[in-house]
Every structure is written in structure tokens, then in C-alpha cells.
Amino acid sequence: MHIILDKKELAPNVKMLKVSAPLVARKSKPGQFIVIRISEKGERIPLTIVEKDDKIGSLAIIFQEVGRTTKELGELRKGDHILDLVGPLGKPSEFRKVGTAVIIGGGIGIGEAYPEAKAHKAIGNRVISIIGARSREFLILENEMASISDEIYITTDDGTKGHHGFVTDILEELINKKIKIDLVFAVGPPIMMKAVSEITEPHRIKTLVSLNPIMVDATGMCGGCRVNIGGENKFACVDGPTFDGHKVDFELLIKRLNTYIAEEKISCKMH
């Protein structure tokens, strides 16, 4: 049992929970995730470790209420418990001093971009962050991202804050301005990560993306999270979740993410 130590609403239907998990906190590294099960009858869902606090022994997770389980999670309050929490899972991200790293987060993906940006800054890379959302009210961690970025760009689809358009517009602008970019890390909707990878490929800019396929056991046994990387089958839960964006078969990822939409709708309605 893991007690919820704190809860915050960051945006409409986007919540942050601080959960007690001292052993997982001690071991976790940026890029890793946990799998939680709220109650006996609940399903298991993966969520990124956004931040950890070794002293308190806690983890911060940020999630968007998109279906039954995330809605149930959002209903929990400070002092409530989560039944199971497994982690840290997935390969930790690798951080090297490369020069300039452009970190791109779209929507809820900003929560996953934050630990990456922070780690790049900590080892001395120049961090240019590009964060985007549908509308200004859905922009999360703006101050946190700004505090660890050398430059930060904001985009909204509806133009209510920052550049009116997409994160990829800013990336293209930086490339056109001949800013030297040594690495791009992108996390967000698959269509966004695909667009980022297509922009950087002709310029041979190393591009990493954090994939979010459906995960069940998250130990490499069930095959649920199968992704195709450069023609090879990989399991995102143990081989990822971060992969070379230029090798990812995004069409397959998008198709597989939609496999259970009918069942998910029914489950959400029942809730």
C-alpha cells in the first residue's frame, strides 16, 4: 500500500500525485516509469516518474484523466492509498555531454520531458525546451521547465499563449536559423513525435522519442507493448520506452494504441 502524500490539479483533468514509495524512489532514474494498480479489481497502468524525493521516499506522477483508471486515480485524495506500485521499470535514459539538447514536450508529455531536461541541464548541456499544448490552460510545468532551460519556447494550437501553432514549427525555425542542435528528445502524442522525427532526419540530428504503447505486465512477457524499431520487434517496457525516432514505425504504434478503444469506452461509461 502506498499513501498519497500530496495532490494538485495542474490543468483541467490533469493531476499530480506525490506517492510514498521509498524503495522505488531510491532506485529510480530519469526516463523510467512505474505500473500501478489502484485496487484489487483494477487494471495496471504505466505512468512516468516525473520526480523523486529520496529523503521523503516519494515519487511524483502527473496524469491526464483519459479513461476509467486515470479517472479513478484522479478521484483519490491526499491520505488515500494505491494498492500496488511496481518500479522503477524501463531503461533509464542515458545522458552525455553533447552540447545543445532540444527537449520537446507535448500536452501531458511535458511531465515526461521535465526529468529529461533537468538531467541534461545537470550534466552541463545547453537546454532548449519547446513545450506545447492545445490551449494555455493545458500547459503544465511551465515555471519548472523555464527554471532548468537556457531557452524556452511555448506553443498553443489555438494561439492563447506563445506561438500559435505546433512545437514542430519552432523546431523547424531553430533548424532554419542554423542553431547547432546535437540532440532532440521528444515526448507527447505519437503524431507529434513522428513529425519531430521527420523534421530532424534529413538534418541527421540524433532524435530520441519516448513511446507509450499499451502495457500490461511491463516485464517483457506479454508482448502487449510490441513496437517496431528499424524492422525489429522490441518491447517498449524492457527495451525502451525511449528509442531512436528515425527508426520507429509510428503507423504501427498508432494502430496498436487504438486496439481496445471500443472496450475502453464501455469501461469508462460503466465507471
Binding stretches for ligand FES (CB under 6 A): 215-218, 220-225, 235, 237
Cβ 260 to ligand FES shortest distance, Å: 14
Query: Which residue among 214, 222, 238, 254 contacts ligand FAD (CB under 6 A)?
Result: 214
Task: Assess 100 for contact with ligand FAD (CB under 6 A).
Answer: no
- The one of ligand FES, ligand FAD, Mg ion, none whose footprint includes residue 223, by CB under 5 to 8 A per kind, is ligand FES
Does residue 145 sit in helix, strand or coil?
A: helix
Asked whether the beta carbons of 241 and 210 are under 8 A apart, the reply is yes
Q: Which of 218, 214, 256 is nearest to 237 (CA)?
A: 218
How many Å apart are CA 255 and CA 249, to the nearest integer?
10
Which among 29, 111, 103 is positioned nearest to 70, based on CA atoms? Answer: 111
Q: Which residue has the cell 546535437?
A: 182
Contacts 24+ apart (CB under 8 A), 2-7: 2/81, 2/82, 2/85, 3/79, 3/80, 3/81, 4/76, 4/77, 4/78, 4/79, 4/80, 4/81, 4/82, 5/56, 5/58, 5/78, 6/78, 7/76, 7/77, 7/78
Torsion sign, CA atoms 88, 93, 96, 98: negative
Stretch that binds ligand FAD, among 58-66, 75-83, 97-105, 121-129 (CB under 6 A): 58-66
Residues 6 or more apart whose CB falls under 8 angstroms from that of 233 comprise 226, 227
Which region, judged by CB under 5 A, interacts with Mg ion, from 64-72, 73-81, 93-101, 214-222? 64-72
Residue 46 makes contact with ligand FAD by CB under 6 A: yes
Query: Which residue, 5 or 254, is less far from ligand FAD as judged by CB?
Result: 254
Q: Which stretch binds ligand FAD (CB under 6 A): 16-24, 45-53, 162-170, 196-204?
A: 45-53
> Is 48 a residue that touches ligand FAD (CB under 6 A)?
yes
Peptide bond into 213 cis (omega under 30): no
Residue with smaller CB distance to ligand FAD, 175 or 238 = 238
The residue at minimum Cβ distance from ligand FAD is 67
- Applying CB under 5 A, among 22, 67, 165, 190 the residue interacting with Mg ion is 67
Quote the least distance from Cβ 33 to ligand FES, whole Å.
11
Nearer to ligand FES, 92 or 224 (CB): 224
Find the part of the chain contacting ligand FAD (CB under 6 A) among 142-150, 151-159, 213-221, 226-234.
213-221
Give the 3-state secondary structure percentages of the chain, helix then strand then coil, rounded to 5.
30, 35, 35
Summarize as ranges the residues that interact with ligand FAD (CB under 6 A).
33, 45-48, 62-64, 66-70, 108, 111-112, 212-215, 241, 257, 261, 264, 268
Residues within the interface to Mg ion (CB under 5 A): 67, 69
